[in-house]
Amino acid sequence: MRDSNHRTGAAGKLPAIALLAVSLSACSGQLWSPTRPAAPREKIAASDWTYRIGPLDTLNIFVWRNPELSQTVTVRPDGKFSTPLVKEHLASGKTPAVLAGELETALADYVRDPLVTVTVGGFAGEYDDQVRVVGEAVKPAATPWRQNMTVLDLMIQVGGLTEFASGNRAVLVRYAAGKEDEFRLRLDDLVRDGDISANVPLKPGDVLIIPEAWF
């Protein structure tokens, strides 16, 4: 079942997902379809994805030979941060290397030949780089995607299935190239029966929807 109010883009996905989660019990029969394809098993190659800074990430900014300019800052919810010499700089959506280059340019007005290194801690990431679980998980949540992450990894993070979950009717929603695809999952087989063949790789932006069992 697709939410009729679905909108493209990160800002539009979250309200649609939230509404879908609320209505899972009422429409779980429509959510699952035996004709929906099984989730694909291909992984993202390491060369095809690079971590991008997101809101609430912690940035360790090191300015060589200028310890007074070296800072540890948190990216605000608007994606920006401030330092004593760099005001209101946008970090969200950029790689650490790109941000370091921008800071070198900004600091060049105050420091001769600045050399900046940016490292990231407290990873949150961009919204499009997170994966989410809604419905009958013990602890539904959004979490940063990481290399080689699988459905089993995500289910461990959210505490597994509730006793009311219909895991084999779960759906994986994937946004790619401006379109939405839906795949069936076998979470009961994976989580409750230990069938590792039901485990599949995840991609950034994936959403797992777990409906309630019929009674």
The pLDDT of residue 31 is 52
In this prediction, the residues of the chain whose per-residue pLDDT falls under 50 are 1-29
Q: Homologous superfamily of 58-121 in CATH?
A: wza like domain (3.30.1950.10)
**Domain boundary assignment for the chain:** 10-48+127-210, 58-121
Residues paired with residue 150 on neighbouring β-strands, in sequence order: 201
pLDDT digits (tens, 9 = 90+) for 49-99: 899 999 999 999 999 999 999 999 999 999 999 998 998 999 999 999 999
Q: What is the dihedral sign for C-alpha 6, 7, 13, 15?
A: negative
Distance CA 212, CA 13 (A): 22
What's the rounded Cα separation, in Å, for the pair 173 and 39?
9
pLDDT of residue 163: 96
Report the CATH superfamily, name and number, of domain 10-48+127-210.
Outer membrane lipoprotein wza domain like (3.10.560.10)
User: Which phi and psi angles does 161 have, rounded to 5°?
Assistant: -95, 150
The pLDDT of residue 178? 85
pLDDT confidence of residue 33: 63
